[in-house]
Amino acid sequence: MNPADLSALLLTVVTDVVERRGGGADVSEVPLERPRNRDHGDWATNIAMRLAKPLGVPPRDLAAELAEGFRALPGIASVEVAGPGFINLTLDAAAAGEVARTIVESGDEYGRNDSLAGQSINLEFVSANPTGPLHIGHTRWAALGDSLARVLKASGAALASEFYINDAGNQMDNFGASVLAAAKGEPTPENGYPGAYIGELAQQALERRPDLLELPADEALAVARELGYELQLAEIRESLERFNVHFDVWFSERQLHAPGDGGVPSAIDQAVDRLRAQGHVFDEDDAVWVRTTDFGDDKDRVIRRGNGVYTYFAADAAYYLSKSDRGFAHKIYLLGADHHGYVHRLKALAGAAGDDPDRDIEVLIGQLVSINGARLSKRAGNVIELNDLQAWLGTDALRYSLARYPADSPLTLDPELLQKRTNDNPVFYVQYAHARTRSVARNAIDSGVDRSGFDAGLLEHETESVLLGALAEFPRIVAQAAQLREPHRIARYAEQLAASYHKWYDNCRIIPLGDEPVGDLHRTRLWLNDATGQVLRNALHLLGVSAPDRM
């Protein structure tokens, strides 16, 4: 019996008691949590304390009344009232053990839930400028963003993961000038991009356009810019795919600036008109402004300067409206540590567009990540690239480690630890647990143990109760990770599950000893073993990490 099934079962008793007492309390679910001390049972609920005041009953008296009804439910072994009105429940072995069969039969679907069903979400992350390779700063959001996308989808959201390509503005001209200078063998121009990768891009550009250096200056700059852009963006795409990060949409900023066919205004021009129609645009000092202070911003924002040039805020506005036009009611932005100033700006923009800033947009800020404390600069030319990190530490170790911590906590990676094949290395610990489940299954089959029999009531050992309880928690953990936008909860859960499995493995045998005949206990334990492997596999998949069969 999983937590959702148990909650639904308990709700029948709670609803009956509320009705008998004349109503007055709205209850749609019975909250459950794991007691810290397993001697207190498998599950605990504070439903009596929640309902005591609206029903006008002392919490312990209501708890005692509910407990009496809970005891009569199938699958409940014992019920106790504790403290000011907590109710502790212990399931019988058969009810608890059924989760193993449910997991094996559900396979890859186990853990998926509908907690976010009906929500249409656009999740934007990484969005690196196409002027250089992805580096360690981008890598953290790549791992976290992709894991969050997987968790949101697993919880029923209709989601699109999106990479916003910042391919407009002076930065692209400076990038093109850098590539052209390298092709000519000249020093990096002022405000240009240094680094060996520029020389590599210049060489590739010359291979594609041998006549590059013979073109007129303006044409050569434009060609160098476009070739460099095309090559660098292709590398970014390839790097992310190797990192198991897939984007549903690659959105070019250029399309916001481009006018439509037949003289149709650009998306940015239309955005200004649409914001003006909402009543939040005003003209002052020959410039066009958005009154973002109406929505908590620290100052109003210029959207078009007096010389007619649009600001970056104009592109932000057009891009936000584009997401709404494409059917995304909810937008999540994952931004780097240097983007705190964007939070109020984007929320104000949502309000100016007619949305609810507290409901329709989220801006998550990720903190810095370093290798043993080193802070590296892309422009200084000593950047650690994603490709190098993958080659050095491996995709699995890197993705797991980056997704294992909350986004808002600074993180320093220990390369020596991440390369260890010991239990001190969290990703090795979890992957090894999965590999052990596969090894146990292979050895069981070789010894004549299969899954032809299943008797959940035989899973009575203390470690089996703990393991089954952990397995039953997985759908709730996934839903919680999605609702809180915290994929690190999946990693921490996987480690706890691995620990419970290893302890069970040390205490409970699947393969008979000596001449002992194969019985249903062995077969049922194989179900439990395979269920654990399935959940570990599902958890690792949500983190974008492989689940090896052998290690």
How does DSSP assign 256-279, residue by residue? HHS--GGGPPPHHHHHHHHHHHTT
419 and 393 Cβ atoms separated by less than 8 Å? yes
In 136-206 the beta strands, taken as DSSP E runs, fall at 158-165
| Residues whose CB falls within 8 Å of the CB of residue 425, separated by 6 or more in sequence, listed in order | 397, 417, 418, 419
Question: Token pair of 500, please?
Answer: 């419970």
Q: CATH class for domain 3-91?
A: alpha beta
Q: Which helix (H) or strand (E) holds 133?
A: none
What span, in angstroms and rounded, lies between the C-alpha atoms of 489 and 297? 32
Task: Tokens for 242, please give them.
Answer: 């190797």
| Domain coordinates in residue numbering, the chain | 3-91, 120-166+246-370, 170-242, 421-542
> Angle of helix 395-403 relative to helix 136-154, nearest 10 degrees?
70
pLDDT of residue 136: 85
DSSP state for residue 374 in the 8-state scheme: B
| The CATH fold of domain 120-166+246-370 | Rossmann fold (3.40.50)
pLDDT of residue 244: 96
Q: How far apart are CA 404 and CA 287, in angstroms?
A: 46
* Distance linking the first and last C-alpha atoms of the chain: 33
**45 Rama sector, left if φ>0, alpha if ψ -120 to 50, beta otherwise:** beta
Q: Coil, strand, or helix at residue 3?
A: helix
Nearest to 470 by CA among 425, 501, 513, 507: 501
Domains 3-91 and 421-542 belong to one CATH topology: no
Q: pLDDT in tens for each of the 551 residues of the chain?
A: 778 889 999 999 999 999 998 877 788 889 998 887 777 888 999 999 999 999 999 999 999 999 999 999 999 999 999 999 999 999 988 888 999 999 999 999 999 999 999 999 999 999 999 999 998 888 999 999 999 999 999 999 999 999 999 999 899 999 999 999 999 999 999 999 988 899 999 999 999 999 999 999 999 999 999 999 999 999 999 999 999 999 999 999 999 999 888 889 999 999 999 999 999 999 999 999 999 999 988 899 999 999 989 999 999 999 999 999 999 999 999 998 777 778 888 999 999 999 999 999 999 998 878 777 555 545 345 678 888 888 889 999 999 999 999 988 888 888 888 889 999 999 999 999 999 999 999 999 999 999 999 999 999 999 999 999 999 999 999 999 999 999 999 999 999 999 999 999 999 999 998 889 999 999 999 999 999 999 999 999 999 999 999 99
Q: Give backbone dihedrals phi and psi of 135, rounded to 5 degrees, phi first.
A: -125, -170
* Structure tokens belonging to residue 493: 């859960």
Three-state DSSP at 520 gives: helix
Q: 421-542 has which CATH code?
A: 1.10.730.10
pLDDT for res 89? 94
Amino acid at 394: G
Q: Nearest CA to 240 among 159, 107, 146?
A: 146
pLDDT for the residue numbered 484: 97
Q: Are 428 and 421 in contact (CB under 8 A)?
A: yes
